Amino acid sequence: MKIIYQSTLTLLIAVLLMPVSKLTAQTENDNKYNISSIKSKGVQVPEENFTGTAWVNMVVGPRDDLNSAIGKVTFEAKARTNWHAHPGGQILIVTDGVGYYQEKGKPIQTIREGDVVKIPGDVAHWHGASHNSSMAHTAIGTNRDEGSTEWLGPVTDEEYNSTASQVK
Ligand code: MN
């Protein structure tokens, strides 16, 4: 019993005497669970549901069991999603550049870095870059248990070019 006590005490003293830097380094390595990074552009999006070149970095998905899907989407100039609707809605936070957002039957709106777009459930819409600038947004899929995105066909060049002023 005395031996166990003494060895425990020795271990405790050894830990207390360890350099703080060593303990900090160990903590950083051990804390990488549940952390992802939104900094990278991610992978190129297949053109199946998009027009032009776009990139996606999904940072929160179904496996996280948080009833949301969060990713960064980066569109090169003129690139855009197809028309689509999200049963549970979506929030877009524009983080870079200038882009467009349009709901079916309404005019195209210009969106810029810092803008927050709140898209109600089941509303047909598209989002993408403007004619002369790339655009990046964080897309937050809300209420994901209400169903997955319904894709409704491409935004034609005629629809895309119908924006009142082609923003630079
Ligand atoms: Mn959307």
Please check the confidence at residue 27 and state whether its pLDDT lies above 60.
no
Choosing among 3.30.70.20, 2.60.120.10, 3.40.50.300, 2.40.40.20, the CATH entry for 43-166 is 2.60.120.10
pTM of the model: 0.79
Measure 165 CA to ligand 1 centroid, in angstroms: 22
- pLDDT at 24 (0 to 100): 47
**How confident is the prediction for the chain on average, in pLDDT?**
87
- pLDDT at 167 (0 to 100): 55
For residues 38 and 71, give the distance between their C-alpha atoms in angstroms, rounded to a whole number: 7
Measure 23 CA to ligand 1 centroid, in angstroms: 44
Q: How far is CA 17 from the centre of its chain?
A: 43
Measure 117 CA to ligand 1 centroid, in angstroms: 10
The residues near 66 (Cβ < 8 Å, ≥ 6 apart) are: 60
Closest CA to 148 of 49, 75, 80, 52: 49
Measure 116 CA to ligand 1 centroid, in angstroms: 13
Please check the confidence at residue 124 and state whether its pLDDT lies above 50.
yes
Mean pLDDT value across residues 102-111: 97
Q: What is the DSSP letter of 82?
A: P
Measure 34 CA to ligand 1 centroid, in angstroms: 26
